Structures are given as C-alpha cells and as structure tokens.
Chains A and B, each alone.
Chain A
Amino acid sequence: MATDQDLVVETVRDILAAHEPFVLTPERPWDQRLWTALTEAGLTGVGIPEEAGGSGGELADAVAIARTLAAGAAAVPVAEQLLVVGPALLATDLAVPSVESPVSVAVAPAVTASADGDGRFLLTGRATDVAWAGTAASVVLLVESGEGSVLALVDTAGLPVAAAANLAGEPRGTLTLDATPATGARLTGGQAEEFRARFALARAVQIAAALEQVLAWTVQYAGERQQFGRPLAKFQAIQMELAEMAGEVTAVAALTDAAVQALDRGEDVVLAAAAAKVRAGAAVEIVARLAHQVHGAIGFTQEYRLHHLTRRCWSWRDEAGTELEWSRVLGAGLLAGGGDTLWASLTRVV
C-alpha cells in the first residue's frame, strides 16, 4: 500500500542507514551527527509551515518521520520537535525557534510563571524529566501561574542542568529556573490538556513503531535461530508467543493511527490520546517480555540490538503521563456525562 509518506520514510531510512549505531552514554547523550544530517535534509522542520521557518508538509509526514526514527532507536529529539513543540507554538502564535536547533519539551507543574510584560514571563522552580535536557537549545514547558497554565519557551543556554536519564539512557534531566526569562502564552484548561495529550500521543506513536520493529526482529530471529535441529519459529510454543505479540502490535497501531487521524481532522483528542497511550503501554508489557523470551540470553546483552528498543519502550510508556494517570483521565472523561452515557462516549473517542 503506497502512501504519500513513502518518500519521506525512504529519506529517513537512507539517512539512518548511513549512520553508525548510537549507544547512549552520559558522555554522549544524543546523536548530533544524525541530527545534523536530518536538518540538512529539512526533516526537523516537517509539518511546520515555511513562513514559520519550517519545511512545510503534513502531520502525516511528521508522524512518518517520528515513527521511522523511533523504530531506528535514533537518539535525536525529533518526535518532540515535530509532534509536540512545533504544533503547540504555532497554535499559540509563539515564534518557532530555528528548526535546526534541537528543542525539547516537559510538563512542569512545579514551575511558576509570573508575567513580565507583553508575552514575556519569568519562570521559577524545577522542571524535572525534561527530555533531552542539556542537549536541547531551548525547551517548551507547560508551567503554572496564578491564573492558569502558561506555555513557555525558554532558552536553555546557561541554565543549570542536573543530568538524569531514562531506562534507555535518553537524557531526562532537571532544569532549575530562577526568574528565568521566557516567551510564553496563557492557555485555557482545555488547551493545556490538549498539549499534554499531544505529548502523550507522540510517545504512543513512538511506542507503536518501536513495537512493530521489535516484532519484526523477533520473527526474523525465530526464523534463523536453530535449536533441536529446526528454527525456533517451527515450535508451536514460539508461534503462539509471536502471534500474541502480533495481536498487541496490531491493536496498538490501529488505535494510534486512529488518534493521529482524529488529530489531523482537528478534533479534541484528549481521550483518544489517553487511550492510545494506555493501550501502547499495556502492549509494551507483553511485547517486550515475549521478545526477550524468544530471543533468549542474546537479547539480554548490550551488544545485541533488542534492548535499544525494549528499554526505550519501557520508559516511553511512563513518560508524558504514566499509564495510571492517563487511565484515570480516560475513565473519568468517558463518564463525564454520567454513568449511563459510557457507551455513547466510547463511540465518540475516535
């Protein structure tokens, strides 16, 4: 099935293919060479209009890029840039920073914003779990003020960073802000929720792509690995496990795609994103466990490729709001009209 996104996917793959594998360490917290190659191809500005400094293109293109990079375990903040930061800044009429500089995102309820003149704020507090903190040149934070949420864009140069990493070694540091100047826009409660939902959906998209790749690797490995004189794939016990993985992967893809399409149609996607994030997280549990089980001990090693994706999935399911948080959002949201309207609510989510 050819899609309009095939070309962009091919371009990203070609760039990935020309790169060495990237093992994240505290000393090498991101893949700067890959980032440069992506910027040279204009891929870090896709979905952002040219007049805003981007490369143009559709949401579907941006999603295709984020998916391909996620499946490739690429150590670059592109999903954050294309799926969260760019759209949020455009929606609030804030200037989009150069798409050639890495930018990141965090929900930072412990940071307070005080107004400092027209469209400017001073931010104070600690922003934890900032994706790519220390490497991103700027960061978009959802912070609180006395009068509701503020979406703030902060230049990170000179800001103190306490480095930390997720289970895959992706930077997730803490920024300490002390009357730090920022541009910003006030958000309604609904807009703030929409921002959180976009972030969660971005992680769901990444998980969906990564799990598909994990399945493909596991099927491939089971076909190649010989034990008892035949490939693992010929054992019924292994076939049952791979089929279970396929069921999970396919379910996540269907729901995530539907949520992305709802976003593309301009619908309120808070519940759709919540559902996609929760479903993707639930699938990680099964798919990662079975993938490692089928791979055996080699999959448990650092030299083998599997952990690059399983570790990311184990973290991504907790990021941008945990499964528990989004489950409650979804459950409460579906019952917003009362207990008798659950079914009607379910049929409206996507």
Chain B
Amino acid sequence: MQAGWTLEEGHDHRIRCPVRYGADLGAAGVSAASLTLAPAPRSEAAEAVRLEVREFLAAELAAGSFEPHVDTWLSGVDPAFSRKLGERGWLGMTWPKEYGGHERSAMERYAVTEELLAAGAPVAAHWIADRQSGPNLLRYGTEAQRREILPRIATGECFFVIGMSEPNSGSDLASIRTRATWDANGDWVVNGAKVWTSNAHHSHYGIVLVRTSPADPANRHAGLSQLLVDLSLPGISINPIRILDGGHHFNEVVFNDVVVPGDMLLGEEGSGWHQVTAELAFERSGPERFLSTYPVVAEFGRRAAETQDPAQLATLGRISARLLALRQLSLRIAAALDRGELPNIPAALVKDVGTTFEADVIDEIRRVVNVPASLDSPDPLGRALAEAQLHSPGYTLRGGTNEILRGIVARGLGLR
C-alpha cells in the first residue's frame, strides 16, 4: 500500500453542475480506501504486555519511584527508571535480537509506550533513542555503529538527542548552516549550532544534520548528511535554553571545530534529507502526540467520577471520543511501520490532529471544573492543569509545526 494518499481522479465537473449520482455522488468508497491506512490487526501479545506494564507501573507508583506528571516524555528524565524498562525488555522492543532488541511487534511497542505515557511516568531520558534514533541506526547505520550503540539503548543506558533545528533554521530545515568538512585524517570537522535539543544535557549522542556540500539553490535538499556525534567530544558546549516556566529541557548545542571520526557518518553522504524524512513517521505518529496531557484527563476523570456532574461527564465523553479516534489512527500507523512502510503523510496528519487535541483538553476541562490552574494548588487537578498549560505552546510546535504538517497533508491531497 502506498504511503501517500490519492483522492479519486477529478471528474469533468462544471461549477454549476447540478447533482448527478454516480460519477459525482457515489464516489466515497474509493477515497475511503485511499485516505486511510488499513485497520490495525488485533494483537493479543500487545494486550498481554499492556497488562504487564500496568502491573509494573502500579508497583512503581506504590513504591514511590515516580510521581505522575504531564508531558513526561519531554520533562521526565529519570535514567534509573529507563534502565528498569530496559531490564524488562521494553526498550528496543521491535529491533533484532542480535542488536539487543526483542523482535516484538510495533503493536506491542505501541501498547508499552501508551501505558507509560498514560501513567505520566518519567520516560524522557530514553524516549528519543528508543523512538527514532535506534530505528534510524537500524536503517542506515553501519554494522559497527549498530553493534556499539543499539544494545546500550535497549538496556536504557544510552540516550540520544535530535540535532536538526538551528538558530536561523526552524521550519525551514533545509536552510541549516552547521557544516562538516573532511580533515587531512579523514575525520569530519563540525562547526555550527543546534537548538531546541531536548535533554542534550542528559544525552550521550546526537544525530546531527549537517551540510557536507555547499548549499545548492537549485536543489535545497542536496548536500546534507547525518553524523553520529558523541556529545562528550572536545569543542561541544551544551547551553541551557529555559522554557517559559524556567524548566531546563532545551539546549543550544554549539560545535566549535569538533572532530568527529570519519566512520561516524550515518548512512550516505548527501542523503541526510532523505534520512531525516524517513525518521518522521516514527517521530510524528506515536501516542506521545496525543497523550502528553493525558494525566490531566486522568485527574479530571477522578473528579467526574466523584461529582457525576452531567456537564463533566459529557466533556469527558467528548474528550474520550477524540482520544479514541487518535488511538486508532496511531495504531494503524504502528501496523504500517510493522509492514515496513513509512507512512509519513498519515503521520503528519496524526500529529496535527493529536497535538491540537492535547492542547484543547486543557480548555475543555477548564470550562466544566471550578479549579484554578496553579503549580501550588492543593488540588491535583489544579496542578495538572497548570503543568499542561505551561507546556502547551510546545505541543503544536515540536517535531514540525502544525502549519508545516498541514502542508504535508495538503501535498498528500494533491494540492501541491
């Protein structure tokens, strides 16, 4: 099945054409098949591992090993917790065993990640490595790179940062200026700066998009490459960029004549754009794109169960209907990834709809509870609302703004 969508071929339709059946009216079946990915298969294995994770989380909560928070895949850094997940085989789940993986399905991995997010568990340390750096290495890495790094990601001991955006290159990623040039020893020398690098200060490696040939105005996507960069190398400085509530998740990573060994090129020189694009289906389609604020919904559910207030129940119903639709979309993409597809356009769509949802949740709930949002609130719902609100600007920006995502969807609709 193709990753992109096609709508049915246009008909010779005049603007003032009255209704005609058939050619004009009866065409939904065709676009139905092409607009959506195939439904995800039912997975008993996924439901089994889901219950294992739930049991584990209940025990961890009872033991006080973590407190639930909002947006923990960005802000919940806890390397010890990540190692526990690694010990249980819940990192690198879909990778081959020879690289430390567990050869389980994307549906099983989906269930594990979803349970962790819903519980507000601290998963940020390993999140990027497990979600996209590992699959990227599997796809494009050398044998040595895979053997060296993948087993350590799977045990929860090696964390990654994404090095894409730059101070002057946000949505326009192809305009990046960090460059890598060969030196006399066959190594890369990197100069430039990356920003919005979540948790670089806790990470061991970055996959850094660099310009390896001069910019070509005729082909903006040419001349880019990905380097696997050990963040402890001399010449790298990691400077905090605090988000609006003072939290330190983002960084500026500056490269000043950093010598990266020649064998740390990831994939092919000049194929960086293509490789970055391939990451996006992983980056954009997961449950973290609609569950960042789920801990608020969980608190709200407890409140509505107590009050049985009809307005609160209706709001919970509306929120839940949106969430359930997003789950189905995300599951379909997980199934497509299992089939070896890279459904980038549906992934862009899920992220657009999902991140809009996770921000909307705050206001939907605010309208039916009499609880001011405050980090110092004695009410757990007030604290969750506050955390969600303070992180809300990020939901629809990170991983590609919703405007960029809608542009991708528009391309999938044949408009560009």
Contact = CB atoms under 8 A, between A and B. Distances in A.
Interface in A42-86: 64, 67-68, 70-74
Interface string B293-309: 01001100111111010
B32 A212 contact: yes
Contacts of A190: none
A254 B329 contact: yes
Contacts of B19: 21-23, 73, 305, 308
Nearest to A274: B317
Contacts of A179: none
A91 interface: no
Contact of B314 (A217, A242, A298, A331): A331
Nearest to B21: A16
A257 B324 CA distance: 12
A263 interface: no
Interface residues of B, number: 78
Contacts of A255: 321, 324-325, 328
B349 A258 contact: no
B316 interface: yes
Interface string B29-42: 10111111011000
A228 interface: no
Interface in B4-57: 7-8, 10-11, 13, 15-29, 31-36, 38-39, 50, 54
B26 A71 contact: yes
Contacts of B24: 217, 305
Contacts of B297: 342
Contact of A1 (B1, B31, B318, B415): B1
Contact of B316 (A12, A14, A305, A334): A334
B328 A339 contact: no
B19 to A, nearest CB: 3
A339 B303 contact: yes
Contacts of A64: 29
Nearest to A304: B16
A132 B1 CA distance: 40
A305 B50 CA distance: 47
Contacts of A3: 33
A332 interface: yes
A349 B155 CA distance: 33
Nearest to A21: B19
B312 interface: yes
A225 B303 CA distance: 50
Contact of A327 (B18, B118, B314, B415): B314
Contacts of B294: 343
A247 B345 CA distance: 11
Given A210-B28, A242-B415, A332-B313, A20 B21 contact: yes
Nearest to A298: B15
A216 B7 contact: yes
B310 interface: yes
Contact of B322 (A72, A234, A282, A326): A282
B288 interface: no
A261 B23 contact: no
Contacts of B329: 250-251, 254
A339 B307 CA distance: 10
Contacts of A1: 1, 33-34, 38
A64 B353 CA distance: 26
Contact of A234 (B13, B39, B302, B415): B415
A224 B415 contact: no
Contacts of A9: 29
A335 B316 contact: yes
A253 B34 CA distance: 12
B317 A17 contact: no
A248 B314 CA distance: 20
A14 B353 CA distance: 35
Nearest to A71: B28
Binding site secondary structure of chain A: helix
B324 A72 contact: no
A251 B353 contact: yes
Interface in B105-132: 114, 118-119
B7 to A, nearest CB: 5
B313 to A, nearest CB: 4
A200 to B, nearest CB: 12
Given A303-B16, A331-B315, A17 B320 contact: no
Instruction: Name the residue among A3, A224, A323, A328 with the largest chain B CB count within 10 angstroms.
Output: A328
A122 interface: no
A28 interface: no
A327 to B, nearest CB: 3
B324 A350 contact: yes
Given A239-B415, A331-B315, A340 B302 contact: yes
A71 B25 contact: yes
Contacts of A305: 17-20, 24-25
B10 A224 contact: yes
A331 B312 contact: yes
A151 interface: no
B383 interface: no
A167 interface: no
B18 to A, nearest CB: 6
B406 interface: yes
Given A220-B11, A328-B313, A331-B312, A254 B328 contact: yes
B11 A250 contact: no
B35 A249 contact: yes
A182 interface: no
Nearest to A278: B321
B28 A251 contact: no
A227 interface: no
B18 A240 contact: no
B323 interface: yes
A72 B21 contact: yes
B304 A16 contact: no
Given A219-B415, A332-B313, 7 more contacts: A22-B19, A72-B21, A72-B25, A213-B25, A239-B415, A275-B325, A298-B16
Interface of A: 1, 3, 5-6, 9, 12-14, 16-23, 64, 67-68, 70-74, 209-210, 212-213, 215-217, 219-225, 233-234, 236, 238-240, 242-244, 246-255, 257-258, 261, 274-276, 278-279, 282, 298, 303-305, 308, 323-324, 326-332, 334-335, 338-340, 342-344, 346-347, 349-350
26 contacts: A1-B1, A1-B33, A16-B21, A21-B18, A21-B21, A68-B26, A68-B28, A71-B25, A74-B21, A210-B28, A216-B31, A221-B15, A249-B35, A251-B328, A255-B321, A258-B324, A274-B321, A275-B321, A279-B321, A304-B16, A305-B18, A328-B317, A331-B320, A334-B316, A334-B320, A343-B298
Interface of B: 1, 7-8, 10-11, 13, 15-29, 31-36, 38-39, 50, 54, 114, 118-119, 294, 297-298, 301-306, 308, 310, 312-318, 320-329, 332, 346, 349, 352-353, 403, 405-407, 409-410, 412-416
